[in-house]
């Protein structure tokens, strides 16, 4: 544990030094911080070879804590407090374990392996949180530069517009038509510029979301993996040492192990739930790199309809639904990204089957769940309709269903990213249209329009 403590102190000193470089404080603090960081590496070898583990752990805790206190109290390092806060959880864990070594050694020795894992997890958290902090600082600087560029662009456009208006005002009546055309061109340029700015902001937000999700993924994997391993260890404990306890103690021990198993199962469940949200965030922020190719939409819709249905059946053997398809065989292949359109179909069908399944439970099985898929060729588009006779969409939330993270499903059963992602794929990725018609308690109908000529 002392190795991690001194390494954390070394990393803190290096980051404090980095934060004051290229500032007026560099001349005052750069050299002392550099010396202190290398002295810290020397202390690792000296303390660990000279003192016992308990003493060296306490020295490491006091050393790291002293650096943090000094940095917090000195006004020169006030701007670095968000960075300092990254080390607080690790300092707390190290301090707690040092006290346990001093005053509860027997209890510490009994759970030493778990405490070592806790120290490692807190040390890893430093780098994960620092990465998030560092990326956030970069994004803030990038956004500031972008705002400056946008303001400069707006000034240039404003100047150019004024010049055009003066020129048009000096023209005679014969140039009135040209004047109107130029004004229309200016309006279109302004509209295009606004769209580009909005797209750049959305792209930046997507990058930030993806960065945060990646940082969360690693510690989340630790939670999921260790909880599952712990359940297996408890099962081995039940089958092994537990049976050797006296009969009067076995029931009590079994009760405690049962409670621990139940707690770990809940940790696993919510960890996997968080993992699905993180993956949804990554999927939602990811720009598609797929290639468009001629695709048979009828076959694609039928394939994902069966996939969704059998996927739900695998989870609930009692579920049954009537599948109805009306495919227009006159539709030629449409140029789309099949993987992305497949994701849209799968999300639509999953929502439809979920809705009819919930309605069947509410009515105690007194109605027949039905999911219908219709394709039609229109003048210059293909229309795909996904209709179900389930719960429908409440009218008061109709305007929110395409918002990221908004869901009408109970907590734990939906991420609120499916419809948002589907809307982006259809409208932005393929130049199409996605609409919904619904009557609460009766039906929901999602209508997709894709252009036949989709370059």
Q: What is the pLDDT of residue 418?
A: 63
Query: Which two tokens mark 121?
Result: 């997890």
**Three-class SS of 246-279:** CHHHHHHHHHHHHHHHHHHHHHHHHHHHHHHHHH
Beta bridge partners of 372: 324, 387
Which of 260, 285, 310 is at the close of a domain? 285
- CA 237 vs. chain centroid, Å, equals 37
Q: Are 136 and 6 in the same domain? A: yes
Which of 233, 250, 285 is at the close of a domain? 285
Name the packing angle between helices 176-239 and 247-285 (round to 10°): 160
> Which residues make Cβ contacts (< 8 Å) with residue 406, sequence separation at least 6?
397, 400, 416, 420
- CA 305 vs. chain centroid, Å, equals 27
Quick count: other Cβ atoms within 10 Å of Cβ 30? 15
Average pLDDT, the chain: 77
Q: How many domains does the chain have?
A: 3
pLDDT exceeds cutoff 90 at 326? yes
Measured at the alpha carbon of residue 265, what is the angle toward residues 264 and 266, in degrees to the nearest 5? 90
Report pLDDT digits (tens) over 357-397.
888 888 876 788 999 999 999 888 999 999 999 888 887 77
Q: Are 39 and 124 in the same domain? A: yes
Domain that holds residue 121: 2-140
Residues 321-325, mean pLDDT to the nearest whole number? 91
Residues 170-189, mean pLDDT to the nearest whole number? 81
Q: What is the pLDDT of residue 445?
A: 92
Position 83 confidence tier, pLDDT thresholds 50, 70, 90 = confident
pTM recorded for the entire structure? 0.41
Looking up tokens 């399944």 gives 357
Q: Are 397 and 434 in the same domain? A: yes
Residues 208-237, mean pLDDT to the nearest whole number? 74
CA gap 271, 266 in Å, rounded = 8
Q: Are 320 and 394 in the same domain? A: yes
Domain annotation covers residue 249:
yes
pLDDT exceeds cutoff 60 at 67? yes
Q: Are 335 and 446 in the same domain? A: yes
Q: Which of 282-291, 352-361, 443-452 has the lowest mean pLDDT?
A: 282-291
Q: Are 318 and 396 in the same domain? A: yes
Domain annotation covers residue 33:
yes
Query: Which two tokens mark 290?
Result: 């797929």
CA gap 32, 77 in Å, rounded = 14
Residues 81-106, mean pLDDT to the nearest whole number? 75
CA gap 360, 132 in Å, rounded = 45
Residues 312-316, mean pLDDT to the nearest whole number? 77
- What letters, b where the CB count within 10 A reaches 16 and e where it falls short, cover 425-448? bbeebbebebeeebeeeebbbbeb
Q: What is the pLDDT of residue 327?
A: 93
Report pLDDT digits (tens) over 396-415.
776 666 665 545 555 444 44
Q: Are 176 and 127 in the same domain? A: no
Q: Could you tell me how many residues make up the chain? A: 455
Domain annotation covers residue 223:
yes
CA gap 174, 203 in Å, rounded = 46
Three-state DSSP at 433 gives strand
Quick count: other Cβ atoms within 10 Å of Cβ 252? 10
Q: Are 244 and 189 in the same domain? A: yes
């Amino acid at each position: 544990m002392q190795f991690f403590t001194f390494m954390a102190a070394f990393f803190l000193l290096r980051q404090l030094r980095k934060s004051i470089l290229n500032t007026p404080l560099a001349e005052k603090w750069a050299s002392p911080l550099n010396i202190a960081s290398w002295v810290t590496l020397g202390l690792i070898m000296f303390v660990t070879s000279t003192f016992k583990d308990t003493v060296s752990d306490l020295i490491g805790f006091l050393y790291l804590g002293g650096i943090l206190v000094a940095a917090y109290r000195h006004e020169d390092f006030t701007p670095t407090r968000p960075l300092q806060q990254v080390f607080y959880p690790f300092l707390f864990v190290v301090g707690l374990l040092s006290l346990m070594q001093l005053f509860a050694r027997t209890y510490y020795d009994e759970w030493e392996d778990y405490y070592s894992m806790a120290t490692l997890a807190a040390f890893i958290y430093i780098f994960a949180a620092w990465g998030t902090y560092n990326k956030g600082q970069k994004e803030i600087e990038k956004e500031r530069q972008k705002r400056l560029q946008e303001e400069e662009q707006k000034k240039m456009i404003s100047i150019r517009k004024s010049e055009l208006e003066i020129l048009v005002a000096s023209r005679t009546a014969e140039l009135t038509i040209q004047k109107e055309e130029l004004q229309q061109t200016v309006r279109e340029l302004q509209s295009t510029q606004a769209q580009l700015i909005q797209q750049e902001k959305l792209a930046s937000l997507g990058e930030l979301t993806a960065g945060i999700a990646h940082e969360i993924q690693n510690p989340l994997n630790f939670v999921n993996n260790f909880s599952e391993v712990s359940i297996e260890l408890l099962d081995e404990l039940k089958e092994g040492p537990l049976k050797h306890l006296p009969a009067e103690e076995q029931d009590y021990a079994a009760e405690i192990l049962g409670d621990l198993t139940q707690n770990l199962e809940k940790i696993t469940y919510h960890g996997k739930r968080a993992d699905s949200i993180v993956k949804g965030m990554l999927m939602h922020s990811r720009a598609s790199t797929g290639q468009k190719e001629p695709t048979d939409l009828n076959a694609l819709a039928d394939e994902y309809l069966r996939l969704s249905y059998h996927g739900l059946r695998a989870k609930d053997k009692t579920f049954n639904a009537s599948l109805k398809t009306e495919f227009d065989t006159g539709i030629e292949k449409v140029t789309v990204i099949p993987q992305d359109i497949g994701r849209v179909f799968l999300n639509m069908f999953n929502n439809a089957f979920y809705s009819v399944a919930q309605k069947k439970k509410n009515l105690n099985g007194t109605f027949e769940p039905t999911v219908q898929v219709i394709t039609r060729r229109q003048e210059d588009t293909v229309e795909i309709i996904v209709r179900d006779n389930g719960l429908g969409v409440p009218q008061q939330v109709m305007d929110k269903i395409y918002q990221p993270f908004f869901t009408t499903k109970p907590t734990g059963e939906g991420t609120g990213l499916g419809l948002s992602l589907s809307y982006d794929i259809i409208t932005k990725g393929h130049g199409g249209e996605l609409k919904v018609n619904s009557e609460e308690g009766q039906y929901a109908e999602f209508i997709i329009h894709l252009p036949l000529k989709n370059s």
